[in-house]
Amino acid sequence: MKKYKCLNKIFPRKPGLYNKKRYNKNEMNMTKKTIITILLALVAMAGQAQVPLESVKELTMKSEYFNHERQVLIYTPDNYPNFDQTYYDVIYVFDAQDRTMFDLVHCLLNIACKPDPDGGRSTNFIIVGICSPTLWDINYFRNHDYLPMPLHGNTGLFKEGYYYGKSPDLKKFVKNELMPYVKTHYRTSGRSLGIGHSLSASFVLDAMITDDLFDDYIAISPNCAYDEYRLATDIENHQFKNRKAPRFIYASMSGEIDDGPEYWGDEWKTGWERVSTFLKDKAHFPENTVTSVHTFPGYGHYNGFMPSLTAALNDYIVFGAKNLVSYVGEETYPVHIELRGKNLTDTIYITGNQDALVNWEAKGVKMTLTSDSIASIDLRLHLPAQFKFTRGSWEREAIISNADTGNQIIHDAEHATRVYRLWERYPWMGE
C-alpha cells in the first residue's frame, strides 16, 4: 500500500478551499435546516412523480485532455421523449460529484421557480452535471479542475497548496468534447447556462472571461482572491459591451465575508467586494445584459448554496421571459411549419415575435390548409423565432401534444422544419 505524507501538509486545513469543508457553529446549525429542506423537496418531487428515476443518465467519457475518465450526469425533463418538437436550453452544473447539488437544480426548477405566465419561458431544461474526481492514486482532486496555474509567486489563499493548473483542460473538455456530445445525442437549443459553487464558481466566471464558454452564468460564493486577485482583475478589465445577444450573470456570497479572517482571510472579502462592485455597475454592460448580485448573511459557505440557487434560478427565468422572447438575430432563414390534427378549418393562424409573424397579434398570418388534417406555411424568419397557433383570438389558442407548453421556438436553421400535432382530446382552448 502506498504511503502518503501527512495530509495536513499536502492539504492545509483551511475551510472550503479544498476537498474537506470546515464550518463554524452558525453554519452547522443552518446546515441542519438546509438538509431538512432539501429532503422535503426531494420527497415532494418523488411523490409527484415528476422526475422519474430514468430521466438521469450516468455517463463515463474518455477525454484527450485528461489521463482519467470523466463522469457526467444528464437529466432530461419529464415528457422529453414525447415532446419531439421541443429543443431545450442546457444547464451545466459543476461539482456534480456532490449529487445533492446536481439534483437540487432540477428540483428547484420544478417546485420553486415560476414559469413565465405568458408562456414565453419554460422551466424545463436539459441539465448536465460535471463531476470532479478524487483520485488518490494519482494525487488528482477537484481543485486541479478549477484553478489555473498561478501567475504570481504568492497565490493568496493558496500559497501553501500546489494542486492546480488543469482548468484550461477542463474548459477544453467541456467545449470540444462534452458540448458536442450533448448536441449530438439530445435536442438542444444551442443556449447554455453554467452553474458553479465555491471554486467551481470561480471557474465559471473565468470561463466567461477567457472562453465565452456559456451564454449565461451563475456563480455562488466564488473565490476571487486566488493568485493575487487574478479573477477580480480579469473581470474588471474585460470588455463586456462587445456581446450583442442577451446575457445573464448572477453572483452571490453568503456569510463567508463576515466570518472573520480566521476562516477565510481578508483576501476573500476584498476579492468579492471588487467583483460585486463591478457587476453592479450597469455602465460596464450592454442593455441586454442582466447582472444580479446577492448576499445571504447568516448562511455559511456550503448551506448558502440552496437559498442562493433558488434566487438565481428565479432571476434567470424572469430574465428569459423579459429578454429572450423578443430577441431575434439579424439574418433570416427559410422555415417550414406544419400543424396537424383532425377536422382543421381555414381559420388557422400563426403569430410570433417579429414582423413576419405579426408581432404577437392573435390573428396573425393565415396558414394554408393542404388537407382537412394539415395546415402549413413557409416563411423567412429571424432566429430564434417564437410563435403560437390560434383560430383568430387568444381564447382559441392551439394545445400542442408533441411540444412543451408555452411558445414554440425555432432556434437554428438546422432544425427549421417543424411538424406539430394538436392534442386530440382538447385541440383548442375555449372549444
Query: What is the overall mean pLDDT for the chain?
Result: 85
Query: What's the pLDDT tens digit per position in 261-276?
Result: 555 668 888 999 999 9
Compute the distance between CA of residue 71 and CA of residue 81 in angstroms, rounded to an integer: 24
This prediction's pTM = 0.86
Query: What's the pLDDT tens digit per position in 79-101?
Result: 999 999 999 999 999 999 999 99
Compute the distance between CA of residue 220 and CA of residue 158 in angstroms, rounded to an integer: 19
Structure confidence at residue 430 as a pLDDT band (50, 70, 90): confident
pLDDT at 153: 65
Does the pLDDT at position 50 exceed 50?
no
In angstroms, what CA-CA distances link 18 with 30, 180, 211?
A: 21, 30, 25
| Helix extents (H) in 333-418 | none
What is the residue-wise DSSP string for 62-124? --TT-SS-EEEEEE--TTTTT-TT--EEEEEEE-TTSHHHHHHHHHHHHHT-PPPTTSS--S-
pLDDT at 180: 98
332-421, which class in CATH? mainly beta
Q: Which residue has the cell 439579424?
A: 330
pLDDT at 1: 33
Query: What's the pLDDT tens digit per position in 113-132?
Result: 877 767 777 889 999 999 99
Does the pLDDT at position 14 exceed 50?
no
State mean pLDDT over 179-202. 97
pLDDT at 280: 97
pLDDT at 420: 98
pLDDT at 158: 52
Does the pLDDT at position 353 exceed 80?
yes
pLDDT at 116: 74
Compute the distance between CA of residue 253 and CA of residue 267 in angstroms, rounded to an integer: 14
Whole-angstrom distance between the N-terminal and C-terminal Cα of the chain?
74
Residue 324 or 34, more confident: 324
pLDDT at 128: 98
Residue 96 or 24, more confident: 96
- Collapsing DSSP to helix, strand or coil, 138 comes out as helix
Compute the distance between CA of residue 254 and CA of residue 301 in angstroms, rounded to an integer: 6
State mean pLDDT over 286-306. 93
Does the pLDDT at position 31 exceed 90?
no
Query: What's the pLDDT tens digit per position in 61-84?
Result: 999 999 999 999 999 998 999 999
How many percent of the chain have pLDDT more than 90?
68
β-sheet bridge partners, residue 397: 390
Rg (CA), the chain: 24
Query: What's the pLDDT tens digit per position in 227-257?
Result: 889 999 999 999 998 888 999 999 999 988 7
The reply to whether domains 7-323 and 332-421 share a CATH topology is no
Does the pLDDT at position 410 exceed 90?
yes
CA 366 to chain centroid: 36
**Can you give 239-284 as a three-state secondary structure string?**
CHHHCCCCEEEEEEECHHHHCCCCCCCHHHHHHHHHHHHHHHCHHH
Does the pLDDT at position 138 exceed 90?
no
Helix, strand, coil percentages (3-state) for the chain, rounded to 5, are 35, 25, 40
In angstroms, what CA-CA distances link 123 with 38, 161, 250, 371, 393?
A: 19, 41, 18, 35, 26
Does the pLDDT at position 375 exceed 50?
yes
- Every domain of the chain and the residues it spans: 7-323, 332-421
Pick the CATH number of 7-323 from 2.60.120.10, 3.40.50.10880, 3.40.630.10, 3.40.50.1820: 3.40.50.1820
